[in-house]
Structure 1
Amino acid sequence: MDIHKFILRHETPLNTLHRYQRNFLVHSFLYYKLNETIISDDQYDERCKIMNNIIENCSELAKSSSYYELCKTCGKTGSGYYIKEYPIEIITRAFHLLYQVKKPNEDFPRFVLRWGYRVVT
């Protein structure tokens, strides 16, 4: 797989890897911690496949990623089940994305509270 076809014009290869890692982590958090999904299994699997391919083929680049330790265990399974704690920026992104998709008739702090989390200001 040629990773260059996944690099956006304004991105570096490391930025591309971060984008796929954040995507993996956000959707893993939604699924494993909140029991919510907003993309299909096929979309998730394809994104994990790309992320894993970058990690395998650019191992030195991957090791410099701030999400390397969280994502390296994903391996071929694409599972985030093993992740016990997610970075706060991933949790925040996940809740914002879910809020945009669900369009609830309540404010964001109350929405987040449904899952036992709270907004800290």
Structure 2
Amino acid sequence: MHQLLASILIIAIIGVINGDKCGQNCLYSNCPATCPCGRTTNYVSAASYCSRYTDWDQQCCQCIVQAESQGNANAMNYNSDRTWDIGLFQINQQNFASCNSGRYPCDPQQNLACARKVWQW
């Protein structure tokens, strides 16, 4: 019985550690030890950022933000090809050079600008 309880406790601790990678910014708990956008969540209003451009469908923009990052500007995903998806719109690392001078677009305004450039909105 003690072994069972010890095993359950160890599994629970591992789950907490994995779930807390990058301070809940790692969307699928698959991030390595580095956290390019930090360990603090940064929830912002999708409507506020989407409304900065009126030439795109506001509902579509907000839907993308919700689906990709749940509105966390510091959201990160580490892909199997060892690239990162970063920010509100989960911009892939392969696009950083063309839209943010090679830097991680963690800032919501930078991420928004990258989204417009990448998707040519």
- Between Structure 1 and Structure 2, which shows a larger proportion of helix residues? 1
Of the two structures, which has the highest relative contact order with CA contacts closer than 8 Å and spacing of 6 or more?
1
Larger radius of gyration: 2
